[in-house]
Every structure is written in structure tokens, then in C-alpha cells.
Structure 1
Amino acid sequence: MAGTIVNKYGNIHINKEVIAKIASQAAVECYGLVGFSYKSKVDGLVELLKKENMSNGVKVEIENDNVYIELFVIIQYGTKISVVADNIINRVKYTIEKMTSLKVRKIDINVQGVRVNK
């Protein structure tokens, strides 16, 4: 299902994949985020996604033009996880609402691992 914006000129439909790309790009700008991993771990292994596949680490659900987002991230070792997660949530929420005019109701952060960023 896509997000829909209705105005006096017609309807605008925004695909979930577009919202996932916006969310991943906004999150990458936050300090302490190393990258994204796949939506589910297989046998406890976590794989860092390449830049072109970052949106695979973002799950987007849209219900009644309300957006629910789940991010699967890898955090930089030595940073405070709660602070990094709060920064990601605030940045992603602001960016999606500004770019799409859809209301973000919930953002969940799943920390899949930590990594030393060289």
C-alpha cells in the first residue's frame, strides 16, 4: 500500500520503497550509525548492507496515511546506543514528514550489532 496525499489538483501516491530510501538516507547522516543490516538475522549473523541496498534494512508500513517504520541498524562501537537511536528517530521522522507530508506515527530501532568504524 502506498501513502496518498490529496490536494485540489488530484492525488499523489508515494510508494513504500521511496519512504524506505528517504529514511535510510536520513539515518545515515546521524553520528554513530555504521550502516544497516537485513531485516532479519539468519543464524545470528549480521551483514552490513552496501550503500545501494540500504533500504533493505528499513521496513515501512502505511495505514490510513500514517507511516510506521522499523530500522535494522549497526551502531558504532563506543557510542551510547540510546543517544544514537534517539538521534536517528528524530532525524528520520523530521525528514519523512518534511518531504512527503505524511505523518510518522512510530519508528522502531533494532540494533543488530556494533562495529568498530575505521
Structure 2
Amino acid sequence: MNLFYTVESIFSMIVQWGILFLEFAGVAVLLATCGKSVADCLKRNPHVRLKLAQGIALSLEFKLGSEVLRTVIVREWSELAVLGAVVGLRGALTFLIHWEIKNEESRAGKERKFHS
């Protein structure tokens, strides 16, 4: 039985490090994207909204990955309910941002055809 607890604690530690890594990656992507978007905005880049939306979507994917990992170590039903709500909200945000990206790409394509 002692081996079981050792393996469980090692597994839990690996999952927790994975969660931290994915959370950090999501925050790093978001901060880098926002910094670049501010610079692009100052340069009056017409595609700044598209690049910002793509960066936010990528950041949310990392954050969603960390939430999926978090489901592995959940012990209580109440934690699982909160986690489900967070995953649902992040999933909805990801869907809306991808929809915005699609619309922005369509608009940019129409602008290119108009100016050609």
C-alpha cells in the first residue's frame, strides 16, 4: 500500500508542475501578445485586432489545457463543479474569439480585394 501512495504523490506532483507550466505559458503568451499589439497599434498596423485575437486564443488554449490537467487531481464534487464552470467559460470565450478571428480575417480579405 505504501508504493501506491508514493506513486500517487509523484503523479500528483507531475500534474501540478504541468498545470503551473501551462498556466505560465498562457500568461506569457498573453503578455507578449498584448505588448506587441500595443506596439502595432502605435504603428497604426491595420491587422492589430486580428493578431491580438489570435494571441488571446492561443493563451486561452494553454489555460484550458491546465484546467483539463487539474481535473485529474480533483478530489471533491464541489471542486469538479467549479472546474467545470471554469472550463465552460473558457471554452465559450475560445469559441467567441475564434469566431471574431474568422470575421476579422474575412474583413481583411475583402479589404485586400478592394484595394487591389
Structure (1 or 2) with the larger CA radius of gyration = 2
TM-score by length of 1: 0.28
More helix by share: 2
More strand by share: 1
TM-score by length of 2: 0.28
